[in-house]
Amino acid sequence: MTQIADTISKNDITIKSGCKHFKTEITTISKNAKVSLYHIQITSDTPKKPEPLTITWKIPAHNVKGIWKPTTDFAKRIQADWELEHMESRISIDAPVISLFGHDDSNRHTFACSNAINKLELNAEIREEDDCFYCHVTLFLEQQSKIDNYNIQLRIDEEEKHFSEALKDVSEWWESFENLKPISVPDAALVPLYSTWYNFHQTLNENVLIEECEIAKKLGYGAIIVDDGWQTNDGNRGYDFTGDWEPERLNKTKQFVEDIHATGMKIGFWYSVPFCGKKSKAYKRFKGKFLTENHRWAPVFDPRYPDVREYLIKIYKNALLDWNLDGLKLDFIDDFRLYVDTPEVNDTMDFISINAAVDRLLTDVITTLKEINSEVFIEFRQKYVGPAMRKYGNMFRAFDCPGDATMNRVRIADIRMLAGNTAVHSDMITWHNNEQLEVAALQMVNTLFGVPQISVVLKDIPKKHLEMVKFYTEYWNTNKNLITKGHFTPYRPLANYPIQKVSNNGKILIGLHDDHVVQLDKTFENIDILNAKLSEGVIIKSDAHFGNYNCKTYNCNGEKISEKTIKLNKGIMEIHVPACGLIQLTLNT
C-alpha cells in the first residue's frame, strides 16, 4: 500500500489526491485481453473526511467516433480536455458509466463504477497534444462524513462487440451487487399508459377522465397516471401547494378510483416527492428541515431527518390503503441534493449523507408499498433511472419532450440499454389536433421500442388519428413480448438511432426512422419493418438468398395496402409502403 499523496500506477491506472492521511491499494480482480475488473480500497488508521480523489488512465484515440453517456441526448460527440464540464453521477442522477464507440458502432472502451449511490464525476476527453483519451472517475466531491475504509470496483471493457452490448453487460454487472438488486416488474408496468399531463395539465375533471379511460381501454391502454392537479385547485403550474397531498380538485378520490377500475384500467397518482410548497401545512410543520428554501419551485424536504422520511412514506402508504391505487409516479427525485445553503448536519438527523438518506427513504417506500400491493408500479423519469433507482422503481420514463418524436426515440433507447428488465416508457405522446395524420403518426411510431404513453384528448382527436392510435397500440400489445423481452440494438448513436432492431424467437422488428438501407444478415420467419418516416418506400439489402416471403403493407391507420409474394434474394430491393406504415414479411414454408 502506498500513500495517496503519491502517484500510484498499476495496469496504467493512476490515483491522485491531495490528502496524505489515506492509503490506497489497487487489486486486479480479473483481467483478460478485453475486460478488466479492479478493486480499489482506500483506508485510514482513524476515521477522517477525505479530499476529492481521482482515478485516471489514458487510451489511444483509435477508431472513436463519439462518447455515449446516459443522458447526453443529441450530444454524443467527442469532448476535448479543455471543456471543463464533467458528467455527474449519484443515486438520482445518471449512472456511473461511459462508453466510447467507433465509426462502426463498435465498443472501443466502456468503463463503469460499482458505486451508484454517492456523487461521482466521470469523463473521457481527448487531448490534442497526444491524440489520447483521458478517462477519469473522481470520488469524495461532496463527502460529508468521516471514513476509514472505502471500496469501489472499476470495470473496463474493450471487447469487440456493438457498444450497446457493452452497456448491457455493465447493467448485468451492477445487478450482481447486493445493494443494487432491482425489484420485480409487475404486469401493470408493461401496459400502454394514458397520462393526463400534456392534454389537461392541472385542469382535471373526474367525468372527463372516466370517459377518456373508457375510450383508452378500447384502444388497448391498460393504465392511467393522473398527474399534477389532482391535489389542488390552484392552476398556476407551480408547486406552492405541494406537501400536504390532500385532494381538493379530485376530492371524491376513492369513488373516482373505483370508477376508473370499472373501466378496466389501473390507476396511479403523481407526487412531487421533494417539494413542500410554502402555502402547505407541511411547510410550517417542517420549517427548518429543508435542504433549501431557495429552489426555483418550492422548498426541498431534507431526507436526513427521520420524521421527514416517515411523513413522506405515510403519504404514499395511505394513498394505497385509502384509495386502492395501483401505482405512483414519484417525481423530481433528482432535487434531493446538496445545495449551497443546505444546513450542516445536526444531532436530530440520523444520516449525514443526503444520497444515503435518499436510499433509505426510497427503500422504505417500496418495501412499505409492496407489503400492501406486491404488484404496485412506481414510475421514475430521466435523469433518475440509474442502477440504484432500479431498487425502488419498475418503470423508467423518457424525460419530458412534448412533440419531439426524435428525442423521445433517443431517450427510450438510451434508457433501455442500461435498464435490464425494468419497463422503459416513452414520454407522453402528444400532437396538435389539426396535425397531418402521418406527422401525428411520427409521434407514435418513434416510441414503439418502449412502452407507449399517450397524452391527447381521445374524444376530441380526428377519427383517422384515433384509428392510427388503435392500430399501433394493438400492434404493440400483440408484439409486447418481442418488444420488451427481445434482443434490442439501436444503431448509429450520433445519427440519433435511425435504425433500431429487436428480435426474439425467429421474429425481428426493424424501425427505420430515416432514409437508410435496411440490412438483413440472417433468415427470420417473420420480419416486420416499421417505416417510421415521412418518405415512402423501404430499401432492403439481403446478405444471402433468404427465400420467398408473403409481404403485406399497411398505412399508418391500419388499412392493408397490398399483399403479394416477394423473393428476398441476395442484393438490393425496394418495397413500397406509405409514410409511417408497416411491412410484414412471413416466410413461406
Mean pLDDT of 501-527: 97
Mean pLDDT of 91-100: 97
Mean pLDDT of all residues belonging to the chain: 95
Instruction: Locate 575 and state its grid cell.
Output: 418495397
Map residue 583 onto helix, strand or coil.
Answer: strand
Mean pLDDT of 109-125: 97
What tens digit of pLDDT does each residue of 316-346 get? 999 999 999 999 999 999 999 999 999 999 9
* Of the candidates 401, 384, 403, 404, the residue with the CA atom closest to the CA atom of residue 392: 384
Distance of CA 171 to the CA centre of its chain: 13
pLDDT at residue 587 tops 60: yes
Tell me the pTM.
Answer: 0.96
Q: What is the pLDDT of residue 233?
A: 85
pLDDT at residue 8 tops 70: no
pLDDT band at 16 (very low <50, low <70, confident <90, very high): confident
Torsion of CA 411, 412, 415, 420, to 10 degrees: -170
pLDDT band at 32 (very low <50, low <70, confident <90, very high): confident
| DSSP assignment of 525-562 | SEEEEEE-SSS--EEEEESS--EEEEEEEE-TTS-EEE
What tens digit of pLDDT does each residue of 425-481 get? 999 999 999 999 999 999 999 999 999 999 999 999 999 999 999 999 999 999 999
What tens digit of pLDDT does each residue of 158-203 get? 999 999 999 999 999 999 999 999 999 999 999 999 999 999 999 9
* Of the candidates 168, 162, 149, the residue with the CA atom closest to the CA atom of residue 43: 149
pLDDT at residue 1 tops 50: no
Q: What is the pLDDT of residue 18?
A: 67
Percent of the chain with pLDDT over 70: 98
Q: What is the pLDDT of residue 9?
A: 45
Instruction: Locate 81 and state its grid cell.
Output: 480536455
pLDDT band at 145 (very low <50, low <70, confident <90, very high): confident
* Of the candidates 480, 447, 459, the residue with the CA atom closest to the CA atom of residue 580: 447
Map residue 467 onto helix, strand or coil.
Answer: helix
Mean pLDDT of 251-275: 97
Burial state string for 491-521 with b = 16 or more CB within 10 A and e = fewer than 16: bbbbebbbbbbbbbeebbbbbbbeeeebebe
What tens digit of pLDDT does each residue of 209-223 get? 999 999 999 999 999
pLDDT band at 235 (very low <50, low <70, confident <90, very high): confident
Q: What is the pLDDT of residue 237?
A: 73
What tens digit of pLDDT does each residue of 341-369 get? 999 999 999 999 999 999 999 999 999 99
pLDDT at residue 269 tops 90: yes
